[in-house]
Amino acid sequence: MAKIDELKTAVESGRAKIAGQLAQEAIDEGSKPADVLSAMVDAMGVVGEKFSAGEIFVPEMLVAAKAMKKGMEVINPLLKGADAQSLGKCIIGTVKGDLHDIGKNLVSTMIGAAGFDMIDLGVDVPIEKFKETIEANPDVKVVALSALLTTTMQSMADTAAALIPLREKYGFKMMVGGAPITQAFADEIGADGYSVDAGAAAVLAKELVS
C-alpha cells in the first residue's frame, strides 16, 4: 500500500501517533502535498459520514481529527500558492447566554478538518463580538452559530437577525445548529443552512461555499 493510502487509513482510524510520520513518508515517496491534504480531507469526510450514520461515536471522530492535525503539521509548510488555499474562513461561536461548548467544538473540529480556517469565538458570544469579527474578516465565507438550550434559541434568532445586514454586505453564508434547533427554526431566522450533527456540518459548510 502506498504511504498516502496508509495515511488515509490512519486518519480514518484516528492513529494520531503515526499520522505525522506517514504524511512525511508519503511526501518522501513522491506524493504532492496537495494530494496528501486531499487524502486526509477525504478521510475526514468518511469519518463524518460514519458518525452521521451512527457507525462511530464522538471519540472516534475526535481522534481522527487529531490524526489529521498531525499530518497537517508536516504538510502545511510544503503547501504553496493555490495548494495552500483553504476553503476560506469560518467564524463559529455559541450565542450569548449559552455556556455550552461541546457541540460547537465538535463542529469547529470537523469544519476545520474539511479545509476551513476556523475563528472560534467560544461560548456566550455577544452579537457585537460576532459583528466585530466579521468586520475584521470581511473575506469570511461561513458564520456558524450554536445553541444548546431552548432558552437561548431566541438569542440565536437575535444574533442571526443582527448579522443578516452584514451577510448582504460581505456575502458569507450563515449556518446554525444545536440540540433544540430544527430546519424549520433555521429557515424562520433566515439561516442559509442547518445541520443535525458535526459530520453533517462539515458537509454543509463545503456545500455552502461551493
Kindly state the number of chain residues that form the binding site for another protein, as judged by CB under 8 A. Answer: 33
Under the binding rule (CB under 8 A), the answer on residue 12 touching another protein is: no
Axis-axis angle for helices 127-136, 153-170 (nearest 10): 20
Stretch that binds another protein, among 27-35, 36-44, 50-58, 166-174 (CB under 8 A): 50-58
Task: Give the Cα-Cα-Cα angle 102, 201, 127 (nearest 5 degrees).
Answer: 65
Contact 74, 165 (CB under 8 A): no
Nearer to another protein, 6 or 98 (CB): 98
Stretch that binds another protein, among 61-69, 81-89, 128-136, 167-175 (CB under 8 A): 61-69
How many residues are listed for the chain in this entry?
Answer: 210
Axis-axis angle for helices 58-75, 16-28 (nearest 10): 40
Stretch that binds another protein, among 32-40, 78-86, 98-106, 169-177 (CB under 8 A): 98-106
Assign 41 to helix, strand or coil: helix
Tally of CB atoms within 10 A around 72: 18
Nearest distance from C-beta of residue 100 to another protein, angstroms: 7
Nearer to another protein, 2 or 99 (CB): 99
What is the footprint of another protein within residues 118-177 (CB under 8 A)? 122-124, 149-152, 155
Stretch that binds another protein, among 30-38, 57-65, 138-146, 202-210 (CB under 8 A): 57-65
Axis-axis angle for helices 102-113, 33-52 (nearest 10): 140
Place of cell 494520531: 16
Nearer to another protein, 83 or 101 (CB): 101
Cα 41 to its chain centre, rounded Å, is: 11
Interacting residues with another protein (CB under 8 A): 14, 16, 54, 56-60, 62-63, 66, 97-103, 105-106, 109, 122-124, 149-152, 155, 179, 184, 196-197
